Each structure stands twice: as structure tokens, then as C-alpha cells.
Copies of this chain bind each other. A is one copy, B any other.
């Protein structure tokens, strides 16, 4: 049983504030921009062809000429799904009949691409129907189905319209028929359908969806050699993935035995999300324990300070404990989004501050860094160090692009950012019978099923006061206190005059406020002091380094603020870092930090037996999420300590 669960997004109304402004950006810029890309109406960006693929698949089903056929990655369909999901969430936040009509038309097109048996995938429908289900390792059919199921659930919840939901229920039945009824072996190369089926189950109550999710999780890794057998049976491939690398495929053992986060980092966290969701859904303690182990494997041994995961571009994957290179990091935007999913589902098993802490870390740093401030360009890879001349240039650093490109041929991240930001309310607020939970500080009105209603007012993460106005009380409230905040002051009252500091207890990172009453105001004051961060000596790549954090924001140093040269700076941590005044004009509004530092001389040649001369100076840091918005320049999160 879920100890608490995500709220329904319909119950959250966004307000102005840091996250609210991002949500406006998604609605106003990102969604229309991405729609044009999907329709191939955006000049100068990689061709998408996503909508054409669905149209052409419909033609194929009707026996018509398929025109320009299929184009793109084998998982191209999922771009439409993620866009639709983001649209659904945006419609909840910002009702818009024109956008809804557009989405309805897209859904019509998608529905038209569904085969009579419920199968839905444009790649196979257009190119070769006989290849269906023959390459689970690389084929992404179940992955695309999963994303479309998520879109269907979201669109149904947003609009009450069930056309896509019905399409995807039929699709789920088609999958069930193949894998369960007919008993064909196999599990998805890219997990996603499992977590989607669990959402479908909750939206529809259809137990087939729960059973199918459970089936895929139970069968995974039961026969570790499944992909090897699959490869032996077929004559075609997409990329030629190595079926023998079971740890990479996350099939090295049954999921309940997993104890190490391995392989493709996005696939990993999507899988673990489904595992955590099923664990709470079915009270599966063994599964819960595996999730605990995997959570620790990631967050205690394999996660960047920015909440990024995946240390290498070779397979976009986890590597080994404590191997966290800054300059060749992969730290895919989607992986940090997936880590938020996992954290949110872990919270449904156990209310513990670390889940919210990691969710925040991933969101305010890597996820937001994935998008340019204007919403028009995106990072797939989120390094912690960029040195022009090496980044994007050296053969080992080709993936570390020092400035965000427009759109990718493989465009998984941009729509993923869009759907995450527009659905942040689900991650911010949770509930169980009597208690309402605030996991993240997101301004807006929230109604809980138990009747509690509150309005959160905050300029977090740039101000550290979070004010909850109880619109309708009589129920319990619990608020997460971030692990980074060395202190918290809680004040309660009904108006400015009556607000008074109260004592409190914190349990596992949550402040339990007891019953709150209508009209009551609860105000949290968190620690606003910038902090130096130090790395475990076990991490070889950041030995002797120091980083900066203020609130949930990890900072970085960019050339733009530091005379174009970061590499010769050594940070003096003997005095605290200082926050400058919030600058609304800089980088859409940021608070810079300044620290004492020393600038080292640049000697001749590579190595010197002479100590380098150092000149005292001040160094300036900006939030990591805002880096790369001022042209090509050096960037570093971890700096040499003086």
C-alpha cells in the first residue's frame, strides 16, 4: 500500500514563481515550438517526421501508398507521445481550446495508425509488419507504447477525453495477448511500458494493465540469456547491441535480486520507477528492498552533485562506484528526469527526506540545465566541466557540446523536460488519508482528496521563506525540510500580527505540523547561506575540489563572470561565500555567489618545479542550470580548492 501517493494534477493550480514561470515558458514557447518540429514546419532544425510517420502508418493499414514512408529513429513515435503528455499537463495549468483542438487532431492521426489487433507503432507498420516483436533488445515497440500510454492517461485526466486511452487500452490488450496469452518470451530492451501500465491501471482500474506490468517485471532477468537467443533467431538489427552484456541490459538477474545500478541510465531509472511503483501498489517487500539497494547504489555511489547520472557516453551508462568524471560525464537530462520519477515512487513506499532531496537536486540542476533559458535549445548531456577546445572536440568529448543545440535527431530530452515541468505538481505534493505532504516548494494552490486546501507562496529557490496559507483545514500537514538546510524556523499564526515561532519535530526529513486549520498560515524559513561542498575522497575525479550550493541550487563558475578564465582560479574556502543581491536582469533572474579566490599564473609549458604565483581575487558563480546561456566559455562546478 502506498504510504502516500502523488496528487492528481487537476488538483494543483500553478502561481507565479520560479517554477510557474518555467511552466509558462513550456506552454508559450516549448510546446508550440516542438509541435512545429513534429510537423516538420520548423526551419533549420533536424527533420522529425513524427506526425508524417503516423499519417503514413494509417495509409499503410488502409493499403494505400505510404508516400515518404518512415523516417527517424526506431523510437520516433515517442516524441509525439511525450509532447502530447506535456500538452495534457499544460492544458490543466493553462486551459486553451486551440491547443486542445490541435491535440485532438494529433490523437485522431495516432488512432488512425492503430492496427485492427490493437498494435500501434509506425516503424513496424510502415516498414515491415513481420518484424513486430522480433527485436525487443533494440526495437523500442514497448517503449513507444509505454510513452503513448502515459500520454493517454495524462490527456484523459486533463480533458476527460478517452479516445487515446481507449486506443492504448486496446494496445495493452494486444501486448498482453502476445506476451501473456500466447506466452511469447521477452521483456523490453528499454523499460518504460511497465511504469506506464501501472499508470494505466490506476486511471482505468483495468487489472490487465497491472498484470502485464507485473509480468514484464517478473520475467526480466529470469532468463538472462533471453536477448542472446533473440539475436540468434533474427536476421535484422537496429544498431547491433551486444546481447551478452546482461548488466548493461539490466537483465543480469531477476529484478528482485538487483543490487547495483547498471547499464543505460535512463532505462535503469525507468525500470526502477516501475519496480518502486509496483512495490507500493502490491506491498511487495522483496521488490521494495531491491529498490532500496538500487536507490543507494545511485545516490550514495553513482550520482553527480547536480543530480546527474550516467558517467559515460559509451552506452549512455552507469560505470562503477565513485567514477564520476566531470568533463566526460553523460548525465543525460532524461536520466535525471527518470531519477525524479524513481524518487517520487520511492516516496510512495516510505516518506523520507532523501527522496525529496534528490528530486530537488535533479530538478533544479540537471533537468533545468537541459533547456536554454529561452526554451529554444536543449542539452542532452550535462557535463560538470566544459573547456572549449576540448569539450565537443576531443574524440572522448564529442558528446560534451559546450552550447545547447536546437533539436536532436534523437529528440528524447526536450519533450521530456516539457512534460516534467508541466507536471511538477505531482512531484511536489502527495497525500494519504489524513495527511497532506509537501515534498517540493512550488507556488500554487493545491487541493487534497481529504479536503485540505492550501496555497503555497514562495520565491524559492531564490528566497527561503515558504508560506502555506491554509484555505481549508482540519487535516494534517507534513512538509519536507531539505537535507541541505542546517536550520529551519517554523512560524504559525493567522495573520502578520499573530505569527509566532513554534517548536516542531522532524522525522526522517519531514516536519509534521499536525492538524492545520482553515485560515492558518505556516511559514518556513530555511537556511539561505551559501555552502561549500566537499566530495568524498573515494571519488577520484574531484579530489581536493570544492563546489558551491545555496538552497537546492548547485552553482558553477563560468568564464563570462570571471574574465574568461576559470581554470587558473583556486577557491579560498576559509571565509564563507557571499550571495549578491538577486539580479532580475541576469540570466532571467539569478543570485550570483562570490567567493575569495586566488588566480594562479600560467607558466611556460606543462609542468613546473616552481610553485605558481597566486594573486588574490574574487570569483563569481552562477546557478548551474543557467550555464551556457552567454556564448562559448569555460564552465566548472568543482573548483580547485586553495
Contact = CB atoms under 8 A, between A and B. Distances in A.
A534 interface: yes
B303 A606 contact: yes
Nearest to A639: B543
Contacts of A301: 606
A606 B312 contact: no
Contacts of A396: 311-312, 314, 319, 323, 325, 328
A544 B640 contact: yes
B611 A573 contact: yes
A335 B7 CA distance: 61
Contact of A537 (B538, B600, B609, B611): B600
Which one of A322, A397, A535, A543 has the greatest number of beta carbons of chain B within 10 Å? A543
A539 interface: yes
A538 to B, nearest CB: 6
Contacts of A498: none
Contact of A390 (B323, B543, B568): B323
Given A537-B568, A568-B537, A573-B611, A543 B605 contact: no
Interface in A306-359: 311-312, 314-315, 317, 319-325, 327-328
A320 B534 contact: no
Interface string A385-401: 10101100111110000
A625 to B, nearest CB: 18
B390 A319 contact: yes
A504 interface: no
B602 A538 contact: yes
B567 A534 contact: no
Interface string A516-548: 000000000000000111111111110111010
Contact of A549 (B539, B544, B609): B609
B395 A484 contact: no
A589 interface: no
A606 B305 contact: yes
Nearest to A641: B544
A607 interface: yes
A116 interface: no
- Copies of this chain in the oligomer: 2
A464 to B, nearest CB: 15
Contact of A395 (B319, B327, B549, B609): B319
Given A319-B396, A640-B544, A609 B484 contact: yes
A396 B537 CA distance: 21
B319 A540 contact: no
Given A317-B395, A540-B327, A300 B389 contact: no
B531 A389 contact: no
A247 to B, nearest CB: 10
Contact of A531 (B322, B395, B609): B609
A603 interface: yes
Interface in A123-147: none
A312 B395 contact: yes
A590 B83 CA distance: 65
A265 to B, nearest CB: 12
A181 interface: no
Contacts of A535: 606-608
Contacts of A387: 322, 540
Nearest to A312: B396
A505 interface: no
A394 B538 contact: no
A470 interface: no
Nearest to A387: B540
Given A303-B606, A312-B396, A549-B609, 12 more contacts: A305-B607, A319-B390, A325-B396, A328-B396, A484-B609, A486-B609, A533-B609, A534-B608, A534-B611, A535-B606, A536-B605, A544-B545
A234 interface: no
B567 A606 contact: no
A540 B390 contact: yes
A608 to B, nearest CB: 5
A611 B572 CA distance: 13
Contacts of A319: 390, 394-397
B395 A607 contact: no
Nearest 10 interchain pairs by C-beta: A544-B640, A319-B394, A537-B568, A543-B640, A320-B394, A531-B609, A314-B395, A323-B390, A537-B567, A312-B396
A602 B567 CA distance: 27
A496 B567 CA distance: 53
Which one of A395, A533, A539 has the greatest number of beta carbons of chain B within 10 Å? A395
A245 to B, nearest CB: 9
14 contacts: A300-B605, A314-B395, A317-B395, A322-B606, A323-B390, A532-B611, A534-B608, A534-B611, A535-B607, A537-B600, A538-B602, A540-B567, A543-B567, A544-B544
Contacts of A389: 320-322
